[in-house]
Structure 1
Amino acid sequence: MQEGSREEARLLVAFDMDGTLLNGRLVLALADRCNVREQVTGIMSSTNMHGYEKSRAIARLWKGISKDDVLEALASIPLSSNAQEAVEALKGSGHVIGIISDSYDVAVEHIASMLSMDFSIANKLVHDSNGILTGELIMPLGWERIGCRCMNSVCKRFHLESIAKRFGIGREHTVAVGDSENDVCMLEQAGVSIAYKPKSLKVKDNAMYIIDDLYDVVDILNRTYGLAVRRGSTQHK
Structure 2
Amino acid sequence: MVRLIAFDLEGTLVKSVSSWVELHKRFGTWDKGKEYAELFFSGRIDYVEWAELDASLWKGHTRDEIVEWANSVEYMEGAKELIGFLRENDFRIAILSSGLMCLAGRIARELEVDYVFANELIFDENGLVTGKVNPLVDFKSKGTILRELKEELKPELTVAVGDGFNDLSMFREADVSIAINPHEGVEGDHNVESLHEVMEIIRGLIEERGQ
Equivalent position SS for 2:178: strand
2:140 is equivalent to residue 159 of structure 1: no
User: What's the offset of the Cα at 1:209?
Assistant: 0.7
The root-mean-square deviation of aligned C-alpha atoms, in Å, is 2.0
- Partner letter of residue 33 of structure 1? R
**1:166-191 superposed Cα distances (whole Å, 9 cap, x missing partner):** 32325xx1111111111111111111
Residue segments in structure 1 that go unaligned for 5+ positions in a row: 1-6, 142-151, 229-237
Structure 2 residue 154 is matched with structure 1 residue 168? yes
Aligned length: 205
Could you tell me which of 9, 28, 33 is aligned with 1:35? Answer: 28
User: What's 1:234 paired with?
Assistant: none
After superposition, the Cα gap between the structure-2 partners of 1:62 and 1:227, relative to the gap in structure 1 and judged at 3 Å, is farther
**SS of the counterpart of 2:82?**
helix
> How many angstroms apart in 1 are the aligned matches of 2:162 and 2:154?
23
Instruction: Quote the offset at 1:194 in angstroms.
Output: 0.8
Find 1:200's aligned residue among 181, 184, 190. Answer: 184
1:225 maps to 2:206? yes
Match for residue 104 of structure 2? 108
Q: 1:1-237, aligned counterparts within 5 Å? A: 7=1, 10-24=2-16, 25-46=18-39, 47=42, 48-140=44-136, 152-153=138-139, 155-169=141-155, 173-201=157-185, 203-204=186-187, 207-226=188-207
Question: Contact 1:126 / 1:135 at 8 angstroms: preserved in 2?
Answer: yes
Query: In 2, distance between residues paired with 1:67 and 1:227?
Result: 47
Give secondary structure in 2 for the equivalent of 1:226. helix
Could you say if the C-alpha distance between residues 63 and 191 of structure 1 is closer, same or farther in structure 2, counting changes exceeding 3 Å? same
| Contact 1:102 1:154 (8 Å CA) reproduced | no
SS in 2 for 1:122: strand
- CA drift of 1:227 comes to 7.1
Contact (CA 8 Å) 1:52, 1:153: kept in 2 or not? no
Paired AA for residue 28 in structure 2: N
Q: Is the 8 A contact 1:97 1:119 kept in 2?
A: yes
Q: Which runs of 5+ in 2 are unaligned?
A: none
Partner of 1:146: none
Deviations 1:4-27 (A, max 9, x none): xxx2xx321111111111112222
- TM-score norm. by structure 1 comes to 0.79
Percent of matched pairs sharing the same residue: 28
User: TM-score by structure 2 length?
Assistant: 0.88
